[in-house]
Chains A and B, each alone.
Chain A
Amino acid sequence: MKIFEFCLMALIAAAPAGAVPTGAAGGDTNAAPPAAPAEVPSSPSAPATLPRFIYGTAGEKYPYYAGLPKELLPYNKIEPYERFFITRMPFRGPGRDYPPPPDLKSLRIGLLDSPKYGPNWDRSVRTREGVVLAMEEANRGRQPGDLPFELVEREGMAQWGGAANVTSDLADDKVLGFLGTIDGAEAHVALRVTLKTEIVMINTSDPDPSLTETMIPWLIRVFPDQRLEEAKLAELIVHRFGCRRIAILREGDRYGRLGVHSFMAFARRLGCPAVQELLFKPGGSDIRHQIAAIKDSQPDAIFFIGEPDDIGRFAKQFRQEGIQARFFGTNLLMDDRFLQNAGEAAEGMTITYFFDLARQDPLWGRFVARFKERWGHEPDAYAAYAYDGAQIMINAVQRAGPNRWRIRDQVCNLDFYQGVTGWMQFDAIGNNIAPVPLARFEHGRWVFEPEPEFSPSVAQR
């Protein structure tokens, strides 16, 4: 089975007249486009930025279960009656031949922010910075007569279902597509509305694996999800470190519940079911009973899921109680609040993280410089993925024109995209399943584990 038909890339996404990219958006505006992998032919008539966008082909087969090893798959010794998510879900409705909205004065792209004062607000601010930078760069590259891009921001509501109201508002705002949001529950609720409003959504920061598993063909996610992170960690803990007694301390909320689900299953399939799974209240401080129970279980590995300030505080308490087990966590721990609260207990913490923020490749380096010039500080992963997500949306609008259904086709048919965060690979349901690297806190700094650089050519092999 041939998985990726590069030779047909972009052919199914022919841009309508007048919607040809201007060259501003779609990547690194101040630099020559990066060399495309040799396997990726570039159409002679296509803009130079096109190799960054590699589209799928009809009927293409995609990696099952995020391409994870068979030993991590559920019921992996039998063939299920039916497998889903192995071909891309089409949108079969009308709309692609609808005329542009009348009296269009701008190309509106929505941004669903997180609620202020909630745990994700800081991440939402950084997300916004990435989106705004991409929009500003795109507008600088517009030609006379081109409609400008316009960002339509809506702040989420700190209540269940609030994102549904806001997403409905975005439809009333006549956005052509939107980005957001961070919280898994909000993203789910927003996604449900998109099926009714038929406005494509690019998620840049929600790690909830189930978000994309709803079969709604109006979504992609550029942000690696918890399943990828936890598969990597489970294999690391069991196979490489040889740990057999894994204890889990997690937040007692939806994030923690969904976050632990995949990890528990992976550990069990590897023959090491968790010896403890204990919860804590976000923001809480007294976990004496959890520590005592975990200590009694004599763990050789502890997996933490929670906000960085909480986990930093608890990691320190574990060490103070004499627990010597190896510490593992998720990307949230790459945060100063974790280091401040954990102190020396941070040493040896191993986490998954999306990419090395200190890496030296030119695409990332130029993005960091532009971002720093615009915002006065360096970007983090949230800002970078938001920038990439906004670039994908901008490119889709430029290629498709102001038609929501054709924009959806552009967004949801992506197989690969090379952004400032690196190469992404999208599966059948729009997940970015590019490998997630490991980072370990050693001698006062995060050290990334060297890995082969991921690119379409590597994936194809």
Chain B
Amino acid sequence: MNTQSAPSVRAIARIVFVCSVLPGFAAAARAATTPADTAALPFPLVERFENFGEKDGLPSHKVHSVLKTKDGKLWLGTNNGLCLHEPDGKFRCYGSKDGLSHPTVLWMAEDPGTGDLWLATMQGLSRFSGGQFTVFTQTNSGLPNNVVYAVAVIDDTIWAATAAGTGAYHLKTKSWNIYDQNNTVMEEPWCYSVAAGNGVVYLGVWAGGIVEHDPKTGSFKAYRDPDGDFQFQLTPDSGPIVDVTSGVAYGDDILWQSTYFGLSRYDTKQATWRTWVQDKTPLVSNFINTVFARGRVAWLATDRGASVTDGTSWVNYLVDENGRGVVRIYRPGQEPETRPMTTALVDGFVTAIWADDHEAWFATSNGVSHGVFSAPTDSPTVASNP
């Protein structure tokens, strides 16, 4: 295990970083002349990172997904297999030779009823149950396409977001439904993400915004970019920031949409939208690979680090030009606060995040980071309603 900051030198990333973070350091300098703000944040703050990479036994530098299951096991979906983080700190990995449909594991979901692990891979959907893999492909099942970007377990149904629609596999009947441009409001069937809402299913659709499906009524509703153009966002807070959705997540009546153009948030009770772009808000980067929701808080995996927000307060975890960790904290109505960290994310290109009240795990393009939270006095578990 490496608790030091990422050592590799990446000149281009550093140039970009210096340009983006210098204003933050200026703010930090200002903050040094005023009393430090100790107001609590509405979500946990990462105090340090514990980093793992290929030298620790990971079979690939690139980690696409991370999941901690109910039994406390940590699973990593890498570019070269599914890996379990053993109690002794080693990684036990599974690949194609073990029955996994493809070594690239893009997303994972746990069936809370059985403990089965469902795996979205580049060549099919795999179920890991009792140490055995079962593979679902477009030729041996009703899976719409073999490239599966995301999977979710919602009640007794497995939802698989694929390159040609979303497949719903009903565990009790062992039957499939396919949702695509032929039977839903999707213009294109390219699905990227799926999340459970309050009795509904949200599909993140490439070039189709967000599709809300109510399995009880069979209805579909699309949330689309109101200005209808990728080149700009005409007005803020008016709807999904763009129709190219990279991820959706839901918690406590809040629907989050991650995109490569910024972040959108939909309050399903109030029917109101908010949006964030990097140049005008604390959002660390418009390029958000995935979003993870816990309660009313979103954890954003971006190409420039990680952002955490409830929509009002923000915390950004960055890696500076020397590979050191930096945290920037934005509280409403206050100057941003920038602090150095003793450790850094293993890499700034974060692909996915999993978090609970006690810890966070960050999948990156160069390994995985374990975020250890600071003392609970600074980290209440329930976010305020912004």
Contacts and interface: CB of A to CB of B under 8 A. Distances in A.
Q: A and B: real partners? A: yes
A188 B147 CA distance: 14
Interface stretch (A199-207, A213-221, A326-334, A336-344): A213-221
Interface in A148-181: 159-165, 168, 171
A82 B207 contact: no
Interface stretch (B9-17, B34-42, B44-52, B373-381): B9-17
Nearest to A188: B190
A338 B106 CA distance: 46
Interface in A50-91: 58-59, 64-65, 74-75, 78, 80-85, 89-91
A59 B188 CA distance: 33
B299 to A, nearest CB: 18
Interface string A86-127: 000111111111100000000000000000000000000000
A168 B261 contact: no
Contacts of B16: 58, 90, 92
Most buried by B among A74, A81, A189: A81
A192 B303 contact: no
B227 A75 contact: yes
Contacts of A238: none
Interface residues of A, number: 46
Contact of B163 (A91, A97, A161, A213): A161
A234 interface: no
Contact of A161 (B61, B145, B230, B285): B145
A196 interface: yes
B122 A84 contact: no
Given A185-B188, A188-B207, A216-B260, A93 B365 contact: yes
Contacts of B348: 92
B145 A214 contact: no
Given A92-B303, A196-B106, A165 B64 contact: no
Contacts of A162: 145, 164
Interface in B102-139: 102, 104, 106, 122-123
B120 to A, nearest CB: 11
Nearest to B180: A160
B236 A81 contact: yes
A440 to B, nearest CB: 31
Contacts of A96: 10, 12
Given A196-B64, A213-B230, A215-B261, A93 B347 contact: yes
A215 B232 contact: no
A210 interface: yes
B244 interface: yes
A157 to B, nearest CB: 10
Contact of B147 (A78, A80, A90, A168): A168
A75 to B, nearest CB: 6
Given A75-B227, A80-B232, A81-B234, A90 B12 contact: yes
B10 A97 contact: yes
Contacts of A91: 303
A168 B122 contact: yes
B163 A192 contact: yes
A193 interface: yes
A92 B192 CA distance: 21
A409 B8 CA distance: 18
B366 interface: yes
Contact of B146 (A59, A165, A210, A215): A165
Contacts of B104: 168, 171, 196-197
Interface string B212-233: 0000000000000001011111
Contacts of B287: 89, 92, 215
Contacts of B164: 159-162, 164, 189
A82 B147 contact: no
Contacts of A168: 102, 104, 122-123, 146-147
Contacts of A198: 62
Nearest to A97: B8
A200 B168 CA distance: 32
Contacts of B153: none
B235 interface: yes
B70 to A, nearest CB: 28
In the complex, which range does the number of interface residues on chain B fall in? 35 or more
Main secondary structure of the interface of B (DSSP, over half): loop
A84 B147 contact: no
Contacts of B236: 81-82
B206 interface: yes
Given A161-B164, A165-B145, A168-B102, A81 B233 contact: yes
A90 B20 CA distance: 13
B282 interface: no
A416 to B, nearest CB: 21
A214 B235 contact: no
Nearest to A165: B146
B162 A161 contact: yes
A82 B264 CA distance: 14
Contacts of A80: 227, 232-235
Contact of A160 (B189, B349, B366): B189
A96 B9 CA distance: 10
A171 B122 CA distance: 10
Nearest to B147: A164
B231 A65 contact: yes
Nearest to A65: B231
B279 interface: yes
A317 B122 CA distance: 48
A75 B234 contact: yes
A85 B231 CA distance: 6
Interface in A130-147: none
A188 B262 CA distance: 20
Nearest to B13: A92
Nearest to A167: B147
B304 interface: yes
Contacts of B147: 161, 164-165, 168, 193
A80 B261 CA distance: 14
Most buried by B among A64, A85, A93, A98: A93
B165 interface: yes
A134 B377 CA distance: 65
Contact of B15 (A58, A161, A171): A58
B144 interface: yes
Contacts of B206: 188, 192, 214
B277 interface: yes
B139 to A, nearest CB: 11
Given A82-B233, A164-B147, A192-B149, 7 more contacts: A81-B234, A82-B280, A92-B303, A92-B349, A94-B366, A161-B164, A198-B62
9 contacts: A75-B232, A90-B12, A90-B16, A92-B16, A95-B365, A168-B146, A193-B122, A214-B207, A215-B287
Q: Ordered nearest first, which 10 A-B pairs have the shortest CB separation?
A: A161-B164, A164-B163, A215-B260, A93-B349, A161-B145, A80-B232, A164-B147, A161-B163, A213-B230, A93-B365
